[in-house]
Chain A
Amino acid sequence: MPDNADALFDFVRCLEQVRAHDQQAARELVEQLYPLVIRIVRSHLPRRVSEEDLAQEVFMKMFTRLGQYQGAMPLPHWVSRIAVTTCIDHLRAQKRRPEFRWADLSETEAEVLDNVITNENIVAASDSLAARELVHKLLAQLKPEDRMVIQMLDLEQKTLAEISDLTGWNTTLIKVRAFRARRKLQKFFQELQKKERS
């Protein structure tokens, strides 16, 4: 999302200079967009991929496709879409998702999972870190696009409009993906409950 710093920065002038092969302007553009790109990359970082490598890939794509940018949307939105699709491509390339098993969970994670499945009570504040780890393991079971939507909606608490700006997907598609992801998670919790009982 473009913040105040982005609003003050003159992207149009900077882009003109970059197109004229001004290295200083290119450096300024990278520095300006780095927080936006690294925020997306960090929250959707696939396993075994360095965040700096991924950020570098996003910026290289941005520069090579700069000729396609027509200014129909703010530059940060356009770059965030490149970052999102790059993350999705990497998540998709992992192919095999690790199987989620009770046996692979730490003691605290298993306790938290048991708590959320069987009780209606709120998880203790001290177990938040374990809950976060658990969430990441569960999200790894979803399709990359569904995972991205549910993470932005339920964890980062972004609005549909914000997700639409970041990803370029329309709100109906986002709702469909969120519905599909939640249904799969619900089914997954039911299966885990059965396994625990058995």
Chain B
Amino acid sequence: MNPNSPRSTAWTRLAEAARRTRFEDVGDIPAPYGFATRIAARALSLPATSAGPFFVAKITLRVLGVVCLLAIVSVSVNLGSILSDIDEQAGKLGSTPIEAAEVENTIDSPPAQPQP
């Protein structure tokens, strides 16, 4: 079922009927009296904005994108060596009985006394 097919659908029939009512032609209608003067006065009383901040923001976003891309690429390139380093460190840590030492420390330490 292709909604773009030229075959007549309920929507195309309805749209065709709606198109028969002439949309008001506003091409030649001028702005209401005083509209342009009011807008011009208000607009020119505003402080002028320069294109500078807009372009700085645009460039900053692009630089941020490039930096993120570089970070992802460098992590993915060095992932192997990072993982092997972690494995190595984990192997070294595995030989020391950290957990046992921690348990002993908690048993030896006296219970905390409530402060008066």
Query: Shortest CB–CB separation between residue A26 and chain B, in angstroms?
Result: 4
Nearest CB in chain B to that of A28: its residue: B36
| Interface mask (A35-61 → B, CB under 8 Å = 1, otherwise 0) | 100110011000000001001100110
The residues in B between 1 and 41 inclusive whose CB is less than 8 angstroms from any CB of A are: 1, 3-4, 8-21, 23-24, 26-32, 35-41
Contact in complex: B27, A64 (CB < 8 Å): no
Nearest CB in chain A to that of B47: its residue: A64
Query: Which residues of chain A are within 8 angstroms of B46 by Cβ–Cβ distance?
Result: 63-64
Q: Which of B18, B35, B40, B49 contacts A52 (CB 8 A)?
A: B35
Q: Known: A23-B44, A129-B21. Contact between A67 and B28, CB under 8 A?
A: no
Q: Is the interface of A mostly helix, strand, loop or mixed?
A: helix
| Interface mask (B68-100 → A, CB under 8 Å = 1, otherwise 0) | 000000000000000000000000000000000
Contact in complex: A156, B36 (CB < 8 Å): no
Query: Which residues of chain A are within 8 angstroms of B29 by Cβ–Cβ distance?
Result: 35, 38
In the complex, A135 Cα to B29 Cα: how many Å? 25
In the complex, A80 Cα to B93 Cα: how many Å? 66
Nearest CB in chain A to that of B50: its residue: A67
Contact in complex: B30, A185 (CB < 8 Å): no
